[in-house]
């Protein structure tokens, strides 16, 4: 099974947030996207095992960041 993990930028807190509907309990944040992806790779298998969900075959990382344009 491939698990979807969504990464969104919180402009107010200046952090990336990782969440997944496929992996209950997965909510992490970090200042660097690359570092946060590594944290997800470490934490996700533990949560998957704790939740007794199907074994991970891969991840689909969705990254979204919106910025306002100042005129």
Q: What is the 3-state secondary structure (H, E, C) of the chain?
A: CEEEEEEEEECCCCEEEEECCCCCCCEEEECCHHHHHHHHHHHHHHHHHHCCCCCCCEEEEEEECCCCCCC
Model pTM score: 0.87
- Of the ranges 13-17, 48-52, 61-65, which one carries the lowest mean pLDDT score? 48-52
Q: Which CATH class is domain 13-64?
A: alpha beta
Q: Where are the domains of the chain?
A: 13-64
Tens-place pLDDT, residues 29-55? 999 999 999 999 999 999 999 988 787
């Amino acid at each position: 099974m491939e698990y979807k993990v969504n990464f969104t930028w919180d402009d107010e807190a200046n952090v990336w947030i990782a969440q997944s509907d496929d992996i209950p309990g997965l909510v992490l944040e970090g200042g660097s996207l690359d570092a946060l992806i590594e944290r997800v790779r470490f934490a996700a298998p533990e949560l998957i095992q704790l939740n007794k969900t199907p074994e991970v075959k891969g991840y689909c990382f969705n990254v979204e960041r919106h910025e306002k344009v100042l005129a």
